[in-house]
Chains A and B, each alone.
Chain A
């Protein structure tokens, strides 16, 4: 029994991996290159969703402001590239650094910045819990949204365009297929990292906090500290996703941190299966494909998506991955 569900889970995952690996050549052969960029976007959102699931599904923190970190990561890449193309020193930084288009530097900076922002937001938000936490994370994300809207130097509402994607020393990301595989590699690497994380001592503390924080404290755990650390890690993951998103569309705007974006990422997590590492990936695929398909039929596709969400919440809490992989899907 345990064995058959285990193999069912492995089968689902293997199949998924094969599909994702084979997608670019197949799409090119069918002359549907559009799918490559669509799925790059999907992989990027999957990365954001997995990072959100760390706090949502494993540590029990319902954050509705995850888009903020996505946006910060994207803006770091966008602003660094902007200063290169304008040959303009970055204000408020020592030295007269005029930015970079190096992926290694820009993406690292994106991760660090979003982690710092997560540290600040988390330190305040985690003083509360429950509904307060949801509203506060949402409000802080909205604050960042307005902050970037007010930055006229970087296009305000309209955002900034990237002249080209970031570059690795030996790898040009301008090619969509190559960029796709980089996204896939980053996603898989991040999932592996999370896999180690959620099964480590730290991960057990996170799960304990989700199930019964009162008990954790009574056992002597400084839960605030661990939850904050987890929040920061998730923020950093989303920041990386943001850096990728900026490269994918070669464009950055406050829209990335609009609260509906946070809502969408949250929907991906729940739809795919909360508290699992692969669930959010299925959720991202499902939601973005559904949007694509519904949008092809009607411009008013949200009138269908909305009620679907309500039905999922009311009747299908295990999510797609739980449904596909059976009981083995519960790796929480």
Chain B
């Protein structure tokens, strides 16, 4: 991690209200190049709402989002994705009728373009399938490559979704509770997969499991009632009285 380099993602004064509810209340956040930055907070704190604004699915009421120095606040989802901002969803979002490899191949295709090719068979296109298989292998999913994605086990679907995000070769990942609903075994595997990723990309990770967070995160931001109340190293966050009062205290 390079502390001197400019942040890959810089969020300032992000605000979003649903009626009277302030789901994002002036969030400031930096994610540095090559860091895993955890975003934690109790249920309903506004983590998913924040991620949705970063990815472009929700447009903020106020505030600014810079990605690699470029202002992306007004860009739609697909444009941000093309710039290298990939995401996973808290509720698994895959193509249930496709096979696993086809799911990843869609991500590969998105990166490669040529979406207006009308004639050649896509499923036989090595340029599309081979990179997808490589990613699946990296995730340990090669055995289920031919299985229908909707019929995979929950844990495998979560991994598949991460595989899709990775196959777009993003510069940054927004992961909304990638371990949600996983057993301890799958969860540990996922941790092992995520850790080496920071060699070539940055991650904003929303996660409830504190063991995972402390194992992975370089820095942590704590969100409570839409406000970022603290940011710091895991050590600093663990010892912060404010955080303990507002959040960690509940869990212990």
Contacts and interface: CB of A to CB of B under 8 A. Distances in A.
B119 interface: yes
B122 A203 contact: yes
Interface in B41-92: 55, 57, 76-78, 81-82, 86-87, 89
A217 B56 CA distance: 10
Nearest to B77: A217
Interface residues of A, number: 26
Contacts of B247: none
Contact of A201 (B81, B95, B122): B122
A284 B168 CA distance: 42
Interface string B91-125: 00111111000100111011100111111111101
A69 to B, nearest CB: 19
A208 B106 contact: yes
Contacts of B120: 200-201
B76 A217 contact: yes
Interface residues of B, number: 37
A315 to B, nearest CB: 22
Nearest to B112: A201
A11 to B, nearest CB: 24
Interface stretch (A25-33, A222-230, A291-299): A222-230
A218 B95 contact: no
B78 A217 contact: yes
Nearest to B109: A201
A204 B93 contact: no
A226 B122 contact: no
A86 to B, nearest CB: 40
Contacts of A301: none
A222 B75 CA distance: 12
A5 interface: no
Contacts of B114: 201
Contacts of A196: 118-119, 121
B97 A200 contact: no
A208 B110 CA distance: 11
A218 B87 contact: yes
B212 to A, nearest CB: 23
Contacts of B118: 196-197, 200, 202-203
Given A202-B115, A205-B115, A211-B98, A220 B93 contact: no
A212 B95 contact: yes
B78 A220 contact: yes
B130 to A, nearest CB: 15
Interface string A176-215: 0000000000000000000011011111110110011011
29 contacts: A196-B119, A197-B118, A200-B117, A200-B119, A201-B109, A201-B128, A203-B118, A204-B102, A204-B105, A204-B109, A204-B123, A205-B115, A208-B106, A212-B95, A212-B96, A214-B57, A217-B81, A218-B77, A218-B78, A218-B81, A218-B86, A218-B93, A219-B106, A219-B107, A220-B111, A221-B78, A222-B78, A226-B115, A332-B97
Given A218-B87, A219-B110, 19 more contacts: A196-B118, A197-B119, A200-B117, A201-B114, A201-B115, A202-B117, A203-B118, A204-B122, A205-B109, A207-B95, A208-B106, A211-B98, A216-B106, A218-B55, A218-B89, A218-B93, A219-B168, A220-B81, A221-B110
Interface of B: 55, 57, 76-78, 81-82, 86-87, 89, 93-98, 102, 105-107, 109-111, 114-123, 125, 128, 164, 168
